[in-house]
C-alpha cells in the first residue's frame, strides 16, 4: 500500500535489466559538459530469454545502433537536466517492435532496460501515477494498528525466498483487471518495486529506508499466507508497484545494502505502510505506523541514517541485522567422495552444464599465502601449463571431468603456484592455460574464465583484468545428456577432484569461495570492475550464492541454485575428510555483502 510519488523524482514502470555494472562501460559516449547518466539496454527473446544479436535500437544519440554479441547496447548520455525522459524503440527481424516511452535517465546513475521481444508489437509507457492513494480498508487499518491474534514472534524466521505476485502490468489498483500469478525471487522483486516507489536520485539513506519499508510490507503479507487468496501482493497501488521493466544502480544497491536488515515491533514483522508525506499518514489514521517518503528525503539530507528514519516513523520498533551471509570454506581434504560440493550437470538446457555455446564461469575466492602452491606454474610448465590435462596437478577448485571414454568434452580449474590454471579438452585435444597473478595473498579476488566455442579462445580474468589467454580446443565441451559414466559422472565438483586419485599429486583447494555463476555468453572482453553480488540476467544458466548456511559449522545439506531455482539444480555438500569439510563460514567479503558501510544502530 505504498505511495507513488508524483513529483519529478517519481520513477517509472520498468523492465528488469540485470547486466553487471562492470559490463556497462560506455559503448558510445557523448561529451558531457553538464549532467550525464548511463543507460544499459539488453534485448532478449521473450520466450527463450536468449539475447538477440544485431537488433536495431533507436533512441537518443549514443544509444542508437545495433546490439552486440550479448544482445546489449550501452551509452553515457549528456542530460539537459539531472533527470531526463527518453524513448527507446527496438526492432529485429521476426519480432514485433518494442517501444518504451518516458524512461528517465538520472545524472550519475545507471538506468537498466531490458526489451523482451515477441511476435507482437509491444508499447509501454512510464507514466507518473497518481500521487494519492485511497484510504485503508477497515481490515488493513486494523492490521496496521494491531497485528492479528495468534501472530507469532518471528525473530528467528528466515527472509522469504520468493513472493507470489498478481501481475496486471498496470500501476493502478484495479482488482477486477485480468491478471496472472507469478512467483518471483524475493530480492529481485524488491529491486523491481523500489524505483517505482522511491526517488532513485534521493539521498542514499532515504533510498535505504525505502528499501526496508518495501521489503517489510511484502514480508508481512507473505507471513500471513498472502493478502489475496492466490497471491501475496498485487503489482499495483493495491499493494506495491512491481514491474520488471526498469532498474537503477542506486536502488539496486539500496536493496542489496539492506537485505540483511529487519524492522520489527516486539519481534514481529508488521505492515510498513507509507505515504508521500507524514501528514497523509496521520490523515489515514496511521500516525506512528507509517513513513512519509518526502520526509525521509528531508531527514536523510539533514544527516539521518536509514535506521533512524525508520524507527522515527514506525514507533516502538527495532532495526537489526539478522542475515548472516555465509560462504564455503574448503580445507584441502577433499578425497574419496568427501570434503566437497557436487552440483548436478545432467539437467537439460540450463544449469551448471555450460560448454555447448560460449561461456563464462566466475566466482569470488580467498586463500592465504602459502596455500595452493602445488606444482608451481612458474617452475614446472611441463607438468602444468600448455599440456592436455596439466591443470589436475594443481589444487583443484572446480572439476567438470568425465569418467571413462571421451564424449563431447571436459574442463577444470585449479590453483598452481597460487595462480589460476584452467584446462579444457574437446575429446580430441586439450590444453591448460596458466595465469600470472598470485591470488593467494589473503585478499578476496574475482576470478573469471571466458571461452568462445567457435575458435576455442580462452581467457583468464583476475579482478577485472586480463591475466592470460590462449587459443584452445574448439567446439562443444558440454556434458553429454544421459551419459552413463558412473554415479559421480553427472556432477561438477567444487573444492576438489571428481575422480579421486593420489591426494598428493592431485591436491584439492584450500580457502574460501563465494558466489559461483555460470553464463552462456562471453561476458568480458575488456578491463572491467567486478560486481560483488552477481546479477541474474538472461545469460545466467546457474548461480550459487553459498548463503544456505545459518552460521559457522559443517556443510551437510543442499547448496541452492538462485537460477533456475529448481531442486533438480541444487548442489549438495559431501561433508567429510580429515580434517572434515567443507564448512560454512560467516562471509567477511565486503565486495559481495557490502558490510563496510553499516551504521551504528540507534534503535531502542
pLDDT, one tens digit per residue, over 97-124 is 999 888 889 998 899 998 989 999 988 8
Place 29 in a pLDDT band, splitting at 50, 70 and 90.
Answer: very low
pLDDT at position 155 is 55
Range in 156-165, 167-176, 296-305, 490-499 the model is least confident about: 156-165
What's the CA gap between 522 and 515, in Å, rounded? 18
* 52, three cell numbers: 538477440
Whether 340 and 331 have beta carbons less than 8 Å apart is answered as no
Strand segments (E) across 520-555: 540-544, 553-554
What's the CA gap between 380 and 385, in Å, rounded? 8
Q: Name 543's bridge partners.
A: 517, 563
pLDDT at position 359 is 94
Please report, for residues 63, 99, 107, the alpha-carbon distance to residue 78 in angstroms, rounded to integers and kept in the order given: 11, 21, 9
Place 13 in a pLDDT band, splitting at 50, 70 and 90.
Answer: very low
For 364-380, write each residue's pLDDT tens digit: 999 988 888 765 544 44
Sheet of 65-66: strand order equals 65-66, 56-58, 83-91, 98-106, 122-125
pLDDT at position 312 is 94
Range in 10-24, 71-85, 369-383, 399-413 the model is least confident about: 10-24
Phi, psi angles (nearest 5°) of residue 374: -55, 140
- Bridge-based pairing of strands 72-78 and 83-91 is unpaired
Place 21 in a pLDDT band, splitting at 50, 70 and 90.
Answer: very low
What's the CA gap between 302 and 295, in Å, rounded? 11
What's the CA gap between 187 and 190, in Å, rounded? 5
* 328, three cell numbers: 564455503
pLDDT at position 487 is 79
pLDDT at position 393 is 83
Output the average pLDDT for the chain: 81
Give the burial class of 122: count Cβ atoms within 10 A of its Cβ; 0-12 exposed, 13-18 middle, 19 or more buried. middle
For the chain, what is the radius of gyration of the CA atoms? 25
Place 32 in a pLDDT band, splitting at 50, 70 and 90.
Answer: very low
What is 21-125's CATH topology? Immunoglobulin-like (2.60.40)
Whether 349 has a pLDDT exceeding 70, the answer reads: no
Place 594 in a pLDDT band, splitting at 50, 70 and 90.
Answer: very low
What's the CA gap between 417 and 373, in Å, rounded? 4
For 199-256, write each residue's pLDDT tens digit: 888 998 999 999 999 999 999 898 888 889 999 999 988 899 897 878 888 898 889 8
For 154-180, write each residue's pLDDT tens digit: 555 678 889 999 999 888 888 999 999
pLDDT at position 171 is 83
Whether 18 has a pLDDT exceeding 80, the answer reads: no
Q: Which residues contact 487 (CB under 8 A, 6 or more apart)?
A: none
Whether 299 has a pLDDT exceeding 70, the answer reads: yes
pLDDT at position 92 is 97
pLDDT at position 181 is 95
Whether 145 has a pLDDT exceeding 90, the answer reads: no
What's the CA gap between 115 and 113, in Å, rounded? 7
Alpha-helical (H) ranges within 224-303 are: 249-258, 278-283, 293-301
Whether 446 has a pLDDT exceeding 80, the answer reads: yes
Whether 128 has a pLDDT exceeding 70, the answer reads: no
What is 327-592's CATH topology? Jelly Rolls (2.60.120)
Predicted model pTM: 0.55
Q: Give me the residue spans of the domains in the chain.
A: 21-125, 138-321, 327-592
Whether 479 has a pLDDT exceeding 80, the answer reads: yes
Q: Name 314's bridge partners.
A: 289
Whether 365 and 397 have beta carbons less than 8 Å apart is answered as yes
Sign of the alpha-carbon dihedral angle for 437, 439, 441, 443: positive
Place 19 in a pLDDT band, splitting at 50, 70 and 90.
Answer: very low
Amino acid at each position: 500500500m505504498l505511495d507513488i510519488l508524483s513529483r519529478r523524482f517519481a520513477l517509472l514502470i520498468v523492465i528488469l535489466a540485470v547486466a553487471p555494472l562492470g559490463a556497462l562501460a560506455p559503448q558510445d559516449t557523448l561529451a558531457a559538459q553538464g549532467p550525464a547518466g548511463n543507460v544499459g539496454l539488453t534485448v532478449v527473446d521473450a520466450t527463450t530469454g536468449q539475447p538477440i544479436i544485431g537488433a536495431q535500437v533507436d533512441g537518443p544519440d549514443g544509444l542508437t545502433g545495433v546490439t552486440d554479441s550479448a544482445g546489449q547496447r550501452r551509452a553515457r548520455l549528456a542530460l539537459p537536466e539531472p533527470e531526463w525522459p527518453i524513448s527507446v524503440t527496438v526492432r529485429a527481424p521476426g519480432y514485433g517492435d518494442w517501444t518504451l516511452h518516458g524512461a528517465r535517465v538520472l545524472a550519475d546513475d545507471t538506468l537498466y532496460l531490458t526489451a523482451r521481444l515477441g511476435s507482437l508489437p509491444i508499447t509501454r509507457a512510464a507514466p507518473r501515477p497518481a500521487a494519492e492513494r485511497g484510504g485503508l480498508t477497515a481490515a488493513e487499518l486494523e492490521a496496521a494498528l494491531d497485528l492479528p491474534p495468534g501472530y507469532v514472534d518471528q525473530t528467528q524466521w528466515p527472509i522469504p525466498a520468493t513472493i507470489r505476485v498478481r501481475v496486471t502490468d498496470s500501476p493502478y489498483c484495479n482488482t477486477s483487471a485480468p491478471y496472472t500469478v507469478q512467483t518471483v525471487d524475493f530480492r529481485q522483486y524488491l529491486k523491481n518495486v523500489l524505483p517505482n516507489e522511491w526517488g532513485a536520485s534521493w539521498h542514499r539513506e532515504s533510498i535505504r529506508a525505502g528499501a526496508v519499508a518495501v521489503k517489510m510490507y511484502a514480508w508481512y503479507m507473505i507471513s500471513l499466507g498472502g493478502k489475496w487468496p492466490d497471491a501475496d501482493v498485487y503489482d499495483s497501488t493495491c499493494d506495491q508497484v512491481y514491474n520488471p521493466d526498469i532498474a537503477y544502480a542506486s536502488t539496486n544497491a539500496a536493496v542489496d545494502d539492506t537485505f540483511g536488515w529487519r524492522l520489527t515491533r516486539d519481534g514481529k514483522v508488521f505492515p510498513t505502510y507509507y505515504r508521500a508525506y507524514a501528514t497523509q499518514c496521520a490523515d489515514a489514521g496511521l500516525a506512528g505506523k507509517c513513513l512519509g517518503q518526502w520526509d525521509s528525503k528531508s531527514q536523510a539530507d539533514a544527516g539521518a541514517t536509514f535506521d533512524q528514519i525508520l524507527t522515527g516513523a514506525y514507533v516502538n520498533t527495532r532495526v537489526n541485522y539478522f542475515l548472516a551471509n555465509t560462504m564455503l570454506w574448503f580445507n584441502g581434504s577433499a578425497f574419496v567422495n568427501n570434503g566437497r560440493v557436487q552440483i548436478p550437470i545432467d539437467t537439460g538446457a540450463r544449469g551448471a552444464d555450460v560448454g555447448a555455446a560460449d561461456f563464462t564461469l566466475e566466482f569470488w575466492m580467498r586463500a592465504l599465502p602459502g596455500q595452493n602452491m602445488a606444482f608451481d606454474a612458474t617452475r614446472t610448465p611441463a607438468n602444468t601449463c600448455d599440456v592436455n590435462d596439466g591443470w589436475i596437478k594443481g589444487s583443484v577448485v572446480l572439476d567438470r571431468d568425465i569418467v571413462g571414454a571421451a564424449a563431447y568434452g571436459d574442463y577444470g580449474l585449479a590453483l598452481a603456484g597460487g595462480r589460476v590454471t584452467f584446462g579444457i579438452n574437446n575429446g580430441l585435444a586439450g590444453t591448460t592455460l596458466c595465469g600470472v597473478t598470485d591470488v593467494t595473498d589473503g585478499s578476496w579476488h574475482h576470478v573469471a574464465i571466458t571461452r568462445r566455442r567457435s575458435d576455442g579462445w580462452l581467457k583468464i580474468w583476475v579482478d577485472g583484468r586480463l591475466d592470460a589467454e590462449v587459443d584452445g580446443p574448439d567446439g562443444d565441451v558440454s556434458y553429454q545428456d544421459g551419459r552413463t559414466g558412473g554415479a559421480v559422472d553427472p556432477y561438477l565438483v567444487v573444492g576438489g577432484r571428481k575422480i579421486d586419485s593420489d591426494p598428493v599429486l592431485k591436491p584439492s583447494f584450500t580457502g574460501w569461495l563465494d558466489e559461483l555463476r555460470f553464463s552462456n555468453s562471453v561476458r568480458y572482453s575488456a578491463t572491467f570492475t567486478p560486481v560483488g553480488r552477481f546479477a541474474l540476467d538472461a545469460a545466467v544458466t546457474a548461480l550459487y550464492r553459498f548463503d544456505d548456511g545459518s552460521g559457522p559449522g559443517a556443510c551437510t545439506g543442499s547448496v541452492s541454485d538462485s537460477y533456475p531455482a529448481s531442486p533438480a539444480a541444487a548442489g549438495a555438500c559431501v561433508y567429510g575428510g580429515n580434517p572434515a569439510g567443507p564448512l560454512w563460514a560467516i562471509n567477511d567479503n565486503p565486495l559481495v555483502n557490502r558490510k563496510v558501510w553499516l551504521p551504528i544502530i540507534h534503535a531502542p
